[in-house]
Structure 1
Amino acid sequence: MRFSVALGCVPLLLLCCAPSVGQENTPKTTSSPLPSKENFHLFLLVGQSNMAGRGKVTPADQTAHPQVLMFDKSGNWVPAVDPIHFDKPKVVGVGLGRTFGLEIAKDNPDITIGLIPCAVGGSPIATWEPGAFDKATKTHPYDDALKRAKQALPAGELKGILWHQGEGDSTPEKAALYQEKLHALIERLRRELNAPEVPFIAGQMGQFSESPWSEARKQVDQVHQDLPSQVPHTAFVSSTGLKHKGDRVHFDADSYRELGRRYAQAYRQLQTTDSQP
């Protein structure tokens, strides 16, 4: 099933060879044509800090792959190397996005994956509504994501929306509204991006023994788990067995990579299911 989003093309790709970790050398740049629109599969990455990623970056995480690109802060298509996100530059690190892209790229050597990073650390779902402002980052998470998506989409075809969020809504008052807000967000993104059946994949918050879940967090988690049975073309990704980086909130780098593989498997399963008559 294809999800055609927008017309037009972007003529040039700005390729940046990322420096090794710890280096501050200015990367070399060259120009190269983007793949054809139908062979450029785009994925929107939204949510809060566990989507942005807080894992430790290694040189391997900054190794460019010709089939996996990202839409950077300046609006250029560049090699997808960690950190992909830029919501909080002092703490952002390895996330799930790059591994997801590498996994999907392996499935088809003829396609290129384009990641559109838009997550904002600490953002509750109320900031993922039109006009909402996030004071901590001085951004408008939903409005900014929509603007970046519309800038990126003429180059390719939107194939999925990846969501990891929920910690910011794990209070009794917010959790009670979470299902309504998440379902509305999915419908709104699909409508605004002209992609009514685009897959939406939600990941589970960290299950860390040192931080038992409150009833409110369990309620938010249940909303995520119930998505496939309540909203068409959605999937849920478990975090069972994954570890935190020492802060009891964020996954460690290896767990982010595993989470990326799990998102990729959920996407494959959705493709199989949606292609059946």
Structure 2
Amino acid sequence: MKKTFTLLLFILSINCFSQENWKLNFPKLEEKASEIPNKSKVWVFIMAGQSNMAGRGFVEPHDTLSHERILSINSKSEIILAKEPLHWYEPNLTGLDCGMSFAKNLLPNIPKDVTVLMIPVAIGGSSTSQWLGDSTYRGVQLLTNFKEKVALAKNYGNIKGIIWHQGESDANAKYLPDYGSRIENLFKQFRKEIGNKKLPIIMGEIGGYSKSNENWQKINSKIHTYTATDKYTDFINTQDLKHKGDFVHFNAEGQREIGKRFAEKYLMMAQ
């Protein structure tokens, strides 16, 4: 009886989170950057992958506090003060991602005159095959959009790295076997477009909470194997982090921790 009551409360709590409530703390004001530093003082990081990079966590008020040294872009490719959520491509789905956490954890460890520019390009549900094929998915032509944002980033700063979280859509019998080779080819394209063969790329493991966990862990094994062959690529562990109730997406606490771990890993790689 107690378990049934607890389950009922859980279901009711999920239903209470209507789309309106989900966006309750989304920022009401967009702030354009009043002054953009010289591009030599702007470090750019690209956020790519699928929904766990695009973000599905619940945004709290403190996630929307801007910082003068953390910038992003809006849907018009204008430079703005970064506030969560950074991704706008899927307005009825987007939530807290790891971008602000990543940038905030970088700031104390990089030169004080450096500004961080976060460029979001992740699209929920996208597979590596769709990225490689430059497919249009959920209204976005994946690789073309990436290239456009790279060109924009080069106008404003120096691209220092890519943080990548993807794999849930490939965790099946059809796509699992060749996941490593597709990642290798895709990252080669990313680096070629950016013009840096040694560009750091950090991959996030997919979670440890899936109802199809065996296949998810096979993706993680592919991630581990690939990063062992590419000295400019590494990964962060996520197996201790929790989902938001859907067994697919990290919760807000997990997203903030992922951002911290991405930052720590980047700082290690940049030494």
Q: TM class by shorter-chain length?
A: 0.7 to 0.9
Partner of 2:118: 115
Partner in structure 1 of residue 73 of structure 2: 71
1:206 and 2:207 aligned: yes
TM-fit CA distance, 1:71 = 1.8
> Contact conserved, 1:158 with 1:195, CA < 8 A, in 2?
no
Distance apart, 1:59 and its partner CA: 1.1
Q: Please report how far the alpha carbon of residue 217 of structure 1 lies from its aligned counterpart in structure 2 after TM superposition.
A: 2.6
> What residue number does 1:45 align with?
47
SS at match of 1:221: helix
CA distance in 1, matches of 2:163, 2:264: 13
Give the corresponding residue for 1:106. Answer: 108
Instruction: Please state whether the residue corresponding to 2:176 is helix, strand or coil.
Output: helix
User: Does the C-alpha gap of structure 1 residues 30 and 204 become closer, same or farther in structure 2, counting only changes over 3 Å?
Assistant: closer
The question of whether the paired residues in 2 share the 8 Å contact of 1:75 and 1:152 is answered with: no
What is the CA-CA distance between 1:128 and the residue it aligns to?
0.9
Unaligned stretches of 5+ residues in structure 2: 1-23
Q: Secondary structure in 2 aligned to 1:258? A: helix
Aligned residue in 2 for 1:34: 36
Aligned residue number for residue 54 of structure 1? 56
The residue type equivalent to 1:58 in the other structure is E
Secondary structure in 1 matching 2:162? strand
- Aligned CA distance change for structure 1 residues 30 and 231 (closer, same or farther; 3 Å): closer
Q: Which amino acid aligns with 1:44?
A: I
Structure with the largest fraction of helix:
2
Moved over 6 A (4+): none
Q: Which amino acid aligns with 1:257?
A: R
* Whole-Å separation in 2 of the counterparts to 1:88 and 1:75: 16
Q: Which residue of 1 aligns with 2:224?
A: 225
Which letter does structure 2 place at the counterpart of 1:49?
A: S
Shift of 1:188: 0.7
Cα deviation for residue 22 of structure 1 reads 6.0
AA in 2 matched with 1:117: P
Q: Do 1:197 and 1:233's aligned partners in 2 also have CA atoms closer than 8 Å?
A: yes
Cα–Cα, structure 1 residues 191 and 248, in superposed 2: closer, same or farther, change >3 Å?
same
Aligned to 2:150: 149
**Is 1:265 the counterpart of 2:264 in the alignment?**
yes
Q: Secondary structure at the match of 1:84?
A: coil
| 2:66 and 2:83 in contact (8 A); partners too | yes
Distance 2:77 2:146 in 1: 12
Residue in structure 2 matching 1:84, options 76, 86, 89? 86
Instruction: Give the partner amino acid of 1:170.
Output: A
Change (3 A) 1:36 1:220: same
1:71–1:152 contact (8 Å) kept in structure 2: no
Q: CA deviation at 1:23?
A: 7.0
2: distance between equivalents of 1:175 and 1:166?
A: 9
CA distance in 2, matches of 1:241, 1:144: 33
Instruction: Using the TM superposition, give the Cα deviation of residue 54 of structure 1 relative to its aligned residue in structure 2, in angstroms.
Output: 0.5
- Backbone CA RMSD of aligned residues: 1.8
The residue that corresponds to 1:236 in the other structure is 235
Q: Any idea what the Cα deviations from partners look like across 1:170-196, whole Å, max 9, x if unmatched? A: 111101121111000111110111111
Q: TM-score, normalised by structure 1?
A: 0.85
Deviations 1:132-164 (A, max 9, x none): 222xx1221111111122122211000000100
Letter in 2 for 1:124: S
1:62 touches 1:81 (CA, 8 Å); kept in 2? yes
Aligned length: 248
Identity of aligned residues (%): 29
| 1:178 corresponding residue in structure 2 | 179
Task: Output one character per residue of 1:230-250: Cα deviation in whole Å (capped at 9) or x when no partner.
Answer: 112111100021111101110
In the TM superposition, residue 88 of structure 1 has moved relative to its aligned partner by: 1.3
Give yes or no for contact 2:27–2:83 (8 Å, CA) kept in 1: no
Query: What do the CA deviations read for 1:207-266 (whole angstroms, capped 9, x no partner)?
Result: 11x62513x333221121123311121111000211111011101101100010001111
Contact map agreement 2:33 2:80 (CA 8 A) in 1: no
> C-alpha offsets along residues 52-106 of structure 1, whole Å, 9 cap, x if unaligned?
1101111111110111111221111111111100121112111111100111112
